[in-house]
Amino acid sequence: MNRALRIIFSRYGIVVIILVLVLGAIALASDNGRTPLTGNDVETDDSTESSEPSDEITDDDGFYTEDCEADDCYAAEELPQEAVDRAVEFAEAWLNPNGLDPDAWYDSIAPFLTTDRAELMVGVDPATLPAQSIDGDATTEASKVSIPMNTGTLILTMAEGSNSWTGGDWLVSAIDWEAS
């Protein structure tokens, strides 16, 4: 018994065990018409489906885009003025004009953010912000609001929704920065 266990747990025994398991998996998979390495169907004589590629051309470019059919989707339209106003209010709070500490600053901007974005902003130090003032009027393009700052442009993606602080309202779902 001891000798048998030594042979089984030697490197040769382990190689044999792995080989048996792999061959068994291949045998089981080929019984179901698939091989684990390719995942392709095994062709049989009575198969009516062709394995040749379809001649149908699709417009899919490989990038995922959300289908937008709801009333609150503004991909092709400009954002309403209330969304732009909300973005500017966020930008003013984001600049931290009152010199708040990180926790108080977070509390001042959180009502403007989606829940996911608010979670990402926890622990951010407002002293590291790249701008000090708004230097122009906000412009919109689809769901984005661009706000010119003294050192670049703050780009906010707006979405209609609610969070723990506010009911249904326009919220910032993404924050981007373009330095000038």
Q: Is residue 38 part of a domain?
A: no
Q: Are residues 9 and 98 in the same domain?
A: no
Q: Is residue 168 part of a domain?
A: yes
In angstroms, how far apart are the furthest CA atoms of the chain? 85
Q: Is residue 58 part of a domain?
A: no
Q: Are residues 96 and 22 in the same domain?
A: no
Q: What is the pLDDT of residue 33?
A: 56
| Count: domains in the chain | 2
Q: Are residues 23 and 98 in the same domain?
A: no
Q: Is residue 108 part of a domain?
A: yes
Percentage of the chain surpassing pLDDT 90? 39
The token pair at 7 is 């042979």
Q: Is residue 113 part of a domain?
A: yes
Q: What is the pLDDT of residue 42?
A: 47
Q: Is residue 76 part of a domain?
A: no
Q: What is the pLDDT of residue 84?
A: 94
User: What are 23-77's pLDDT values in tens digits?
Assistant: 888 877 776 655 445 555 444 455 455 555 555 555 554 544 555 554 555 445 6
Q: How many CB atoms lie within 10 A of CB 97?
A: 10
CATH number at residue 113: 3.10.450
Say which residue, 13 or 47, is predicted with more confidence. Answer: 13
Say which residue, 112 or 5, is predicted with more confidence. Answer: 112
Q: Are residues 103 and 167 in the same domain?
A: yes
The closest alpha carbon to 144, from 176, 96, 120, belongs to 176
In one letter, which amino acid is 164? S
Inform me whether the pLDDT recorded for 119 exceeds 80.
yes
User: What are 141-156's pLDDT values in tens digits?
Assistant: 989 999 999 999 999 9
Q: Are residues 25 and 107 in the same domain?
A: no
Which residue segment(s) compose the domain that 21 sits in?
2-31
Inform me whether the pLDDT recorded for 79 exceeds 90.
no
Say if CB 159 and CB 144 are below 8 A apart.
no
Q: What is the pLDDT of residue 77?
A: 63
Going by pLDDT thresholds of 50, 70 and 90, the confidence category of residue 167 is confident
Q: Are residues 103 and 164 in the same domain?
A: yes
Inform me whether the pLDDT recorded for 104 exceeds 50.
yes
pTM above 0.85, yes or no: no
Positive or negative, the CA dihedral 12, 16, 18, 22 is positive
Q: Is residue 139 part of a domain?
A: yes
Q: Are residues 26 and 85 in the same domain?
A: no
Distance (Å, rounded) from C-alpha 170 to C-alpha 159?
A: 6
SS3 170: strand
Segment 154-165 shows an average pLDDT of 88
The token pair at 139 is 């412009």
Q: Is residue 161 part of a domain?
A: yes
